[in-house]
A = this chain, B = another copy of it.
Amino acid sequence: MKTEGLSINLATVRQQWNLREAVEGCARHGIMAIDPWRDQVAAYGLAESARVIKDHGMRVTGYCRGGMFPAADAAGRAAAIDDNKRAIDEAATVGAECLVFVVGGLPPGSRDLNAARGMVAEGFAAILPYARSVNMPLAIEPLHPMYAADRACVNTLGQALDLCDLLGDGVGVAIDTYHVWWDPDLARQIARAGAAKQIYAHHICDWLVPTKDMLLDRGMMGDGIIDFRAFRRMIEDAGFHGPQEVEIFSAQDWWKRPGDEVLQTCVERFNQVC
């Protein structure tokens, strides 16, 4: 079965494997692209992680994740900016094609979403010169509106693209089917993103009915209600032909299965429904 055009976000096997095991697992299944998480890289060691990834000839379609800009005070926001610069360095070290951002939600005690959104824009503006200086593209991932309070106050593709336009070169979007499939404005915004060359990543994950947990009950492609082929056509028609990156958080299902079974299923479903 085809594995070209398939990438595995390593969160998909985070409970089964450490970074080296995950890279080896992907290689064993013929999958030659990954997106590791910061905590996975930190646990295995940054230099060692970079070496393992390079030794296996892995393409790194993204590095997860920067963001979490809003904070209750200026010191907190400055700390987030510093941390994001470190994330940029790490992304460069592992050879990532972009740093993916979950921008953050409301600061503790705040009910002011506009203020949080302002902090996000300021945070990006503060790190962008550094990102440009090391040629690391920044990919804003709009998250599903159910995460607006606690994870990401950028919640539609259109909103993310407005932010890209505000910030300028070096900022684009990571489009995850799970987060944006519901958007009535989706087709138009994907076309807009493509025209502006702002699509940096294409994540895939299915929406289960019912969804039993708002964070950790995401579905394998084909098990939910997303039409992945229709989605891919929109992305490709917009001019993006990069890998589809599987990112599934699934505490009660896929994280409990052997990693090899998860990857085998990813390959099968990638061929069958994506």
Contact = CB atoms under 8 A, between A and B. Distances in A.
Interface of A: 106, 110-113, 117, 144-146, 148-150, 153, 155-156, 158-159, 181-184, 207, 209-211, 214, 224-227, 230
Given A150-B210, A209-B149, A106 B184 contact: no
A210 B146 CA distance: 10
Chain A interface SS verdict (over half):
loop
A211 to B, nearest CB: 6
13 contacts: A106-B225, A111-B227, A112-B227, A113-B181, A113-B182, A117-B184, A144-B145, A146-B146, A148-B181, A149-B224, A149-B225, A156-B184, A214-B214
A181 B149 CA distance: 10
Contacts of A225: 106, 110-111, 149
Contact of A145 (B182, B210, B226): B182
Nearest to A217: B214
Contact of A155 (B110, B184, B224): B184
A196 to B, nearest CB: 18
